Amino acid sequence: MLNMLYAQVGAVFVVLICAFALLKGDEPERFGAGAYCLLWIATILIQTYLDANWTNYGVFALDVLFLCLLCSLAWKARRSWPVWAAGLQLLSVMSHLLLLVDARMPSASLYTVLNLTGYGVLICIAVGTFWAWQERKASRGIE
């Protein structure tokens, strides 16, 4: 999967945002970034090693798992970014369901929605991390 330039650029984007969240974020941001990284790597492994007929089911299962993790994070954390990230992830899961129910939908549209919602979730994590970092900085005073 990482053999094309656009995939490598996306991988750099994922790694930078997750590293930012793991280094500067609070517990909810670290949990979200860690889950995103693990499930991103699992998605790459599924797309590489699983049979083409089962790839969509594996990615669908991972997206449902990530939606459940984001919903639990939105339930427990007193932040707004997990709600936005869960909404975007729900869009991704619904796109999978649409493809499973109606096979006439072009798969390119599914991949477009999955990519855009994935970047949207990353942006939510980055914004949440930035807010948490700035709040922590403001509570300690200007350094």
> 52-63: per-residue pLDDT in tens?
778 888 999 999
Instruction: Give the model confidence (pLDDT) of 78-124 as tens digits.
Output: 899 999 999 999 999 999 898 888 767 787 888 899 999 999 999 99
| DSSP string across 48-70 | HHS-HHHHHHHHHHHHHHHHHHH
Mean pLDDT, rounded, for 3-31 = 92
Give the integer Cα–Cα distance in Å for 117 and 56.
16
For the chain, give every domain's residue range. 5-137
Indicate the pTM of the whole model: 0.90
